[in-house]
Amino acid sequence: MERGNHNINNIENNDITQILNIIKSACRTISYVIKMSNNISLSKSKNKTNVSGDVINKIDDIANEILIYELKHCPLIKNIASEEEKYIISTNYNNGKYLVCFDPLDGSSNIDINITTGTIFTIFKYDNDRDDKINDGNNIVASGYSLYSGSTQLIICDNNKVSQYQLIDYTFQLINDNIKIPIKGNFYSINDSLSEKWTDKRYTTLINEFKEDCYSTRWVGSLVADAHRTLIKGGFFAYPENTSNKEGKIRLLYEAYPFAHIFKIAGGKSSNGLIDNVLNIPFPKNIHQKTTIILSSPEEYNKFINTN
């Protein structure tokens, strides 16, 4: 059996199940906080920005603390990386074999208007034969995201498949055990208002082609929601580099890698516009490195690579 390109055994399977259970529990708690709190107060700015320059809201801090509190006591985990922490956090378990990375609350600028947010996470296994190195996204052994919306859902990609759970009666119940992305969709998802600023004009040509082919546009502004719709209904999602965000806006480690892993296992495509498959981008020196991202059904991706 394999996860991504990574061979696994029973011990590793148990390790990953244990870590995923901790993440599930954290997502349940975050969901509870969002559902039981005044969302307007959760959106209150902390009057500080994170290392990527994004404004930190109260809920970003709360979700971050919940995840770190739950994960740092797990002896399997050596290191933790979060969007809200400047540096990697080392646990007390130097012999731990895993690095867990997450964006605690993606789309938090949408929390006050009660629009979908979510937690994105990924688990890397250190390469023991290479002095605890991680090469790239192919070291991922599991990844996923939650959606805090009308219902709370969890998508988990492990064991070479993508499964969908819904929080019903305080437990995550399986509602789809093998998600596959449609070969083609009817939607494209991109922040069109930035088109004048896109430095790679292939996106302009491609979007015009989609319009001619009667595609509809969708843009929530939460990666979890826009990528989830693309995964389930098919189509094309991209956040290209632009004159304000020269390397793109999406963070490689805890946003782009996990979605690239999920899309690959579900039969979809990912790219940074230059490298096919985001998992092949080398592990970043800076944990907050940004990247252009494309997540797509195979047909729309073919259109992209044939665009000049």
Size of the site for ligand AFP (CB under 6 A): 13
Q: Minimum distance between the CB of residue 108 and ligand AFP, rounded to whole angstroms?
A: 5
Toward ligand AFP, which CB reaches closer, 8 or 154?
A: 154
Q: Which residue has the tokens 């070479």?
A: 160
Stretch that binds ligand AFP, among 89-97, 105-113, 156-164, 273-281 (CB under 6 A): 105-113
Give the x/- contact pattern for ligand AFP in 27-66, rule: CB under 6 A: ---------------------------x------------
- Phi, psi (5° rounding) for residue 247? -105, 10
Of 15, 84, 106, 158, which one interacts with ligand AFP (CB under 6 A)?
106
Site for ligand AFP in 107-136 (CB under 6 A): 107-110
Virtual torsion, Cα 252, 156, 76, 61, nearest 10 deg:
60
Catalytic residue numbers? 54, 60, 83-84, 103, 105-106, 255
Min CB(242)–ligand AFP separation in Å: 9
Nearer to ligand AFP, 112 or 127 (CB): 112
Only one of the segments 8-16, 41-49, 73-81, 218-226 lies at the binding site for ligand AFP (rule: CB under 6 A); that segment is 218-226
* For ligand AFP, the closer CB: 154 or 225: 225
Report in angstroms how near the CB of residue 221 gets to ligand AFP at its nearest. Answer: 4
For residue 269, the minimal CB distance to ligand AFP (Å) is: 18
Task: Tell me which residues touch ligand AFP (CB under 6 A).
Answer: 54, 106-110, 191, 221-223, 226, 239, 249
